[in-house]
Structure 1
Amino acid sequence: MRVTQKWLRSIPMREDEREEETTAELLMAVARRLRRGFAAALEDYAVTPSQARALRTVVEEPGIRLSVLAERLGIAPRSATEVVDALEARGLVAREPDPADRRAMRVTATGEGLRLQRLVHESRHRELDGFADGLTVRDRAELDRILRLLLTGR
């Protein structure tokens, strides 16, 4: 068996073995837990997290060029092509030539893609609401405020 950081992190620790967790470690743990929950929710729709992100971006930016999609997702153009291939095979997106540049392709969501994006969006919100169930409205507002501060640096 190959020992990786991912494998090591997956080993549950006893409470007495845990070191004091820093804010950064807590934030990363929360992010990992949310990602796992979101990924599990996506399984119901047979869509991967990368496909869901790509579909959301295509819905938000109809007619987006493949190169721009790759940039928005922070992935290589070849990877964007593979993700779009998978979405297109399921009838969730369609490619069309860019009228301004015949060599480029634009991607748009189909009716089924729009429907699935709406379902995935609702599912992610349900997952987040379940995750944050233990927070009061005031706690959640304070958490949102603090997270925005961290993101903007102000």
Structure 2
Amino acid sequence: MPSPDPTPEPETAPATEPAPGGANVAEQLVRLTRRMQRAQKRRMAQLDLAFTPAQSRLLRVVAHYGDAPPRMADLAARLEVVPRAVTTLVDALEAQGAVCRVPDPANRRVVRVELTGTGRATLDALRSARRSAAEDVLAPLSAQQRDTLGGLLATLVDREGPHR
């Protein structure tokens, strides 16, 4: 009778099957988003930009309004947050010189938020950091793969949803 082998065979991990439906894709998108955020954060640190993601988003939203500065209530609605949260963000950005509060010429009780020159320069730097981060993350893809991915993402982003 053969003696038992004293070295047990290594255990193999069970094969992982892709999650049913879109769960695997959803997980990959979450992981990719985190990777993009980390890459963007590194780029921002290299540029010595100390803005939170929420502050960066507020700058983008204010810029979206162009020459018609938004009211605080407009910002809260667009960001889908309570007005107090916008006040906190505007306070911080105003302290950094990126935005300023201006009275509404038609209604002195209304306060509007404008980008300053510093805010525009900061927004340009933030956009540059985002583009560089995207280039880092997308580097392994060919131009054709990037075009395909861009088309697929555009389909998902442009689709009407409950929060548009």
> Match for residue 109 of structure 2?
103
Q: For structure 1, which runs of at least 5 residues remain unmatched after alignment?
A: 1-15
> Match for residue 31 of structure 2?
29
Distance in structure 1 (CA, Å) of the matches to 2:15 and 2:86: 40
Secondary structure class of the residue paired with 2:140: coil
Q: Point out the structure with max Rg over C-alpha.
A: 2
> Match for residue 10 of structure 1?
none
CA offset at residue 153 of structure 1? 4.4
Q: Which has the higher contact order (CA 8 A, sep 6+)?
A: 2
Paired residue type of 1:112: T
Secondary structure class of the residue paired with 1:107: strand
- Is the aligned partner of 1:53 residue 2:54? no
Alignment of 1:20-99 (within 5 A): 20-21=17-18, 22-43=24-45, 44-62=48-66, 63-99=69-105
Alignment counterpart, residue 147 of structure 2, candidates 129, 137, 141: 141
Q: For structure 2, which runs of at least 5 residues remain unmatched after alignment?
A: 1-12, 19-23
TM-score of the pair, normalised by structure 1: 0.81
CA offset at residue 115 of structure 1? 0.7
Deviations 1:33-77 (A, max 9, x none): 222322343343011111111011112214111110111112111
Paired residue type of 2:44: L
Greater helix proportion: 1
When residues 153 and 86 of structure 1 are mapped into structure 2, their CA distance, relative to the original with a 3 A threshold, is closer
Percent identical residues: 36
